[in-house]
Copies of this chain bind each other. A is one copy, B any other.
Amino acid sequence: MASTARFDVVAIGNAIVDVIARADDALIESEGLVKGSMRLIDAAEATRLYAAMGPAVEMSGGSAANTLAGMAALGRRCGFIGQVAKDQLGQVFTHDLTSLGVAFDTPAAAGGEPTARCLILVTPDGQRTMNTFLGASQNLGRESLDAALIAEADILYLEGYLWNADASRAAMAEAIALARAAGRRVAFTLSDTFVVAGHREDFRRMTAAREIDILFANEAELLELAQEGDFETALGKVAAEVPLLVATRGEKGAVALAGGERTEVAAEPIDTVVDTTGAGDLFAAGFLAGLADGRSMAECLTMGAVCAREIIAQVGPRAQTDLKAKVAERLG
């Protein structure tokens, strides 16, 4: 799949710094949280919950940005569009992404809301429960879309989380139109079951209108989108409207459906689940890097599984191991 495009993927996503703390199940319960899910919080709730949390580690995050960080580590050329503020966390986010070689030029917003942060509680079972204060990130508007950048990438990658805010949701229709006009493919990740529940009609309209070329979903998100109780039924229903559907199933592996052809791989074995933050993001990174390499569907899925395995074995959603080496060990 040799290409003359300047970038393999340009992604649009929330620009978020993760604030990661270990927490026991009692805190999840007393806070009334749904383990493994993401919820939005306002500034006051962010301050209150932060005070209730233990000591934390800060690390750049954001779903689509995590995917690009993984792809860059795998040697692919990427660009990012997202909104930070002119503050210390905005500097951290920008540094971490650009130091990996990802192009990121969306101007930081001066004044107004601070850079987004996600308070992540990691329970002893390795599950992460996310509480996102969107801050500046939700103000990503049409004016922030770099049409030239989008036109220069083989694939435009969007995260479903962007549908959580009015401004960023409105900008996405335009982003898709820009990619289409440039003859590029559009990839989309459903992000979270609550996101799908809140915007199902819009997502269904998009797939029905053939606006999505590549769709990433985990099992729960796929069921929620299809409004089905059975995985196979949901898979068939959604695949009918999407040229390439990639569904992840945790320890049950992953499946891809493309042009009627089905490919399945097992999950990569893992000793201890340390923190599942970023597992889906890094799966997408490995899969998309495989696509850019021109690999087979099975190899693309395996690359996704290897990257997911690496991120689950560590704290935080940005790889501390050498993903390129790990993929080479597995696939040669």
Interface residues in chain A, defined as those with a beta carbon under 8 Å from any beta carbon in chain B: 22, 50-51, 53-60, 69, 87-89, 92, 95-97, 99-100, 114-115, 315-316, 318, 320
Contacts and interface: CB of A to CB of B under 8 A. Distances in A.
Contact of A318 (B55, B97, B100, B318): B55
Nearest to A97: B55
Given A56-B92, A57-B316, A315-B320, 11 more contacts: A22-B320, A51-B95, A54-B99, A54-B100, A55-B96, A55-B97, A55-B99, A55-B100, A55-B318, A56-B95, A88-B114
10 contacts: A50-B95, A54-B99, A55-B95, A56-B95, A58-B59, A87-B87, A87-B88, A88-B89, A88-B114, A88-B115
Contacts of A97: 55
A54 B97 CA distance: 9
Copies of this chain assembled into the complex? 2
Given A58-B59, A59-B58, A53 B88 contact: no
Nearest to A319: B55
Given A88-B88, A88-B89, A88-B114, A96 B318 contact: no
A57 B55 contact: no
Contact of A56 (B22, B87, B89, B96): B96
A154 B100 CA distance: 48
Q: Which of A56, A57, A316 is most buried by chain B, counting CB atoms within 10 A of its CB?
A: A57
Nearest to A58: B58
Q: Which of A22, A60, A92, A320 is most buried by chain B, counting CB atoms within 10 A of its CB?
A: A92
Contacts of A54: 99-100
A97 B92 CA distance: 21
A53 B99 contact: yes
A318 B55 CA distance: 9
Contacts of A316: 57
A316 B59 CA distance: 13
Contacts of A114: 88
A52 B69 CA distance: 17
A5 B53 CA distance: 28
Q: Which of A55, A56, A57, A97 is most buried by chain B, counting CB atoms within 10 A of its CB?
A: A55
Contacts of A53: 95, 99
A316 B58 CA distance: 12
A57 B58 contact: yes
A316 B54 CA distance: 16
A92 B318 contact: no
A205 to B, nearest CB: 37
Contacts of A56: 92, 95-96
A55 B50 contact: no
